[in-house]
Every structure is written in C-alpha cells, then in structure tokens.
Amino acid sequence: MELKASVVRHKLLFVDDDPAIIEFLKFVFKDPRYIVRAATNGKEGLQFAREFHPDLIISDVVMPEMNGLELCQAVRADEKMKMTIFFLVSSARQEIDDRIKGLHSGADEYLLKPLNKNHLLAQVQAFLRIKTLQDELINKNERLGQVNLDLEENKQQVEETNRALEREKERLTYSLREISNLAEELEKSHQNQLKLNFSLKESFDNLVKLLATIVELRNPFLAGHTEEVEQIAIYIGERLDLNTSQLKELRIAALLHEIGMIGLPDDIIKLKPDEMSPEQEKIFLQHTVVGESLLNSFKGFEGAARTIRHIHENLDGSGFPDKFSGDEIPLESKIIKAATDFSRAIQNVTDHGQIYRIYNAMKTESDIKYDAMVVSILKDYVDTIANRRTRRKVETVSLAHLQPGMVLAADLYTNTGIKLMPEGMELTDASIKGILNYSYNDPLPPGVKVVVS
C-alpha cells in the first residue's frame, strides 16, 4: 500500500514479558501508519525508549528486572520523553489501588487484560491525536518564542541601523551636494566636448569640400564631376549595406579621388582619357598614387588614401598600379571606379538612349574592368538620371538672353571651375545681375543650359 506524503507515522513501543501479548499488540497496530518496536522487560524497554523516542508506550506492570511503574517513572524523569504517552497494562486481578498507583507514577491510561482490540485501537488513536496537537502547540510556542527573540534582536538592530542611517544620511547629504556640483561641471564639460566634436567634424567636412573644390579649380573640365561621383558612390554603397564608417570613407574618397591631378602637367589635365597618347595615359594614371601619398600625410584620410590608390585597378588584374584582381581590390575602389567612369562618360549627355548605351558598354566589361554587382546596382541609378534628363526639354541660352523665371538645367560653373549656382535654381533679376557681374572677372561658358517649359 502506497502512503501519501502527508500521512504521519507514529512510533509505538511495546514492553511485556509475555510473547503472546507482544504479538497481539503487533497485530493490532500492523497499519503502515505505525512504526513498532518491542522489549521483553522494563530495563530493555527503557533503553529502547531512549534510543527510539516513541510517541506512545504500552507496558505491562509486572515484569522482571524493572516493573512497569518504575519504567513509567523513569520515562517521565527523562526531559526528552516527558510528553510520551504511557499506557500501563495489568491483569484483571489488580485492585483499584494498583490502578491509582499506576496513574500517580505518570501513566496516561491504565488498561486491564484481556485487551480488546477495537477499544485499545480507539484509545491509542485518541491519545495520539491529542499528542499530535500538543506537539504542534509546543512547536508553535517554541517558534513563537524564537520569533519574539528574533524580533527583539531585530528591533535592536533596526534601532542601531536607524542611527547609522541618520549618520550616513548626513554624510550623503553633503556628498550629494558635492556630486551635484560635480555633475553640473561634467555636464558643461560634456556639452563643450560635443560642441568641439561637432566643430571638428564640420571642419573636417569643410576641409574635404575645400580640397575637392581645389581639384576642380585645377581642372575646369571636372566641374560638378566630383559631386556626381559622390552621389553615385553613396547610392551604390548604401545598397551594398556598407556601414556608417565605410560610407564615410567612401564619401571622402569619392570627393577627393582626383586630388592627385594637382601634380599633373597642364597639357595632360586638359585632355580627355580617349585623347591621351599611351605615354600621356601612363602619366595620367599616376594621379592615384600621388593622391594616396598626399592624403597619407594627414590623419583621418588613411582609408580614403587606400581606396584612391586602387580606383584604376581592373577585375581581371590588368589595371594600375598594383595589378590587383578580384577580391584583392577594395570594394570602395570598385565602386568609385564605376562611378567616375560613368560620370565622365555622361557629362553633358541628355539623350536617353545615349545614357543607356554608355551603361551597356560598361556592363559588357563586368568582371573584366568592373565588379558585376556594382554595375548591376548602377543600373538603378542610371534609370533615375536618364528619366530626369530626358523628361525635360533643355536648351542653351546666352547670358544676354537670361530671364527671370528660367530654371537652370545643370550646375552653373565659370571657366575656372567655380560653381556659381546649383541645378534646379530659378533665376531672378538679382541672380541674373550677379551672374553678369561675375562673368566680367571670371568668364562663363558661352551658353547656360535652362529647362524649357
């Protein structure tokens, strides 16, 4: 029979020199709720009781060595067993005085032989229920006493803690004032640092733009080219999921990719790539190495310098200067190579078909000169630029025929490469007057491209 975890098992000790009585008692209390031990005399019973700590003892009165009355007195004298239930059992011949003696010795019940099974079982169960309640009450009183002691101890600790907290509060109040003052100073310092960082970033960006402008001034034929290369490169870089740091390096390299041309002879700078002799082209290609050398001299430009060095490398390894191929070429260099070649090729081109023919020519050189993925993404940019250039009608107007309300179809540059006004700007009397005044000192091209309504 399987017992539930909540069933309490009581320990019973039987003491009798009659084996038949012992067997009878074991039979009566064979239920798994009871743990039973037996002794054949009072002396042995006392030893078992001290080891076993029974909840209830049933002992015969008349026994050798130590009788039941003596055993009961010894049990009651033991502090650990003073709450043990004790039943004395005697023959029916015993007088009433003997029963009184037994109860005076500390017995809880005095039974007469022959024992009745049901009566005995009922009495034992009743006494055990009482003992269980007594044990619980004693345990609760002990726990309550301990709780009271703990509360008193905690009370003293709380009082001491409160006193310590008061002292700490005074120290903290002083410290908080100090911390508050320090926090204000740190906040001011932080704000100043943010302003300084923003100023440094702004200065760095302005320096990049300034260098890009110097490059365009060196070669007026590049007017607007670097800005367009930057736009194309960032367009491709974003769709290739370049991170913020990579996009920053890409933007710098795109704006400064031709800074090395500052060191090239004038007669080469003025030529388009298809107009150069092999010797002139060899000198022209050196601008990437010169650009790398120039930028490596300044902190913050190292990444851009490396990118610029390899923008004339080809995917098949036939490029300049290191004949790198495939993945040896930095991705940023592959992007700028495609962007700058496309930008140069479509300069001043407005015909929709011609723009796509230029792109298709580049596409045929995928995995030869250009990275196939870069060229594939470039197609999306081509669609936007082709649509923008072909869905409007453009004509060239002389300076003398400029009128208020006209919209510039392209950025307006002087012959020396100075950008005066951006594409899309609507002309006014004041802006036209400014253009004419500026043209006296730095002439403009003979015609200005404007959008025709």
Q: Answer with the one of 88, 115, 142 that is the final residue of a domain.
A: 115
pLDDT at 66: 92
Distances (CA, A) of 72 to 67, 99, 128: 9, 13, 18
Residue 423, domain member (yes or no): yes
Distances (CA, A) of 202 to 206, 214, 228: 6, 18, 21
Closest among 390, 381, 380, 395 to 451, alpha carbons compared: 395
Q: Do 317 and 353 sit in the same domain of this protein? A: yes
Number of structural domains in the chain: 3
Residue 342, domain member (yes or no): yes
DSSP code of residue 370: B
pLDDT at 263: 75
224: left (phi over 0), alpha (psi -120 to 50) or beta: left
Rounded CA-CA distance 278/280 in Å is: 5
HSE of 111, CA atoms in CB hemisphere, 13 A: 20
Instruction: List the beta bridge partners of residue 110.
Output: 88
Residue 269, domain member (yes or no): yes
Q: Answer with the one of 76, 91, 115 that is the final residue of a domain.
A: 115
Q: CB under 8 Å to 201, separation ≥6 — which residues?
A: none
pLDDT at 95: 59
The one-digit pLDDT tens for each residue of the chain (453 residues) are 444 445 678 999 999 999 999 999 999 999 999 999 999 999 999 999 999 999 999 999 989 889 999 999 999 999 989 889 999 998 756 556 666 777 888 888 888 888 899 999 999 999 999 888 887 888 888 888 788 787 888 788 878 877 887 887 778 777 778 877 877 887 877 787 877 666 656 666 676 766 766 666 656 556 678 888 999 999 999 999 999 999 999 999 999 998 888 878 877 777 777 788 888 888 888 889 988 998 998 888 999 999 999 999 999 999 999 999 999 999 999 999 999 999 888 887 778 788 899 999 999 999 999 999 999 999 999 888 766 665 567 788 888 888 888 888 777 877 766 777 877 788 888 888 888 888 877 788 778 888 876
**pTM of the complete model beyond 0.85:** no
Q: Answer with the one of 73, 97, 115 that is the final residue of a domain.
A: 115
> Cα–Cα–Cα angle for 381, 386, 390, nearest 5°?
160
Residue 123, domain member (yes or no): no
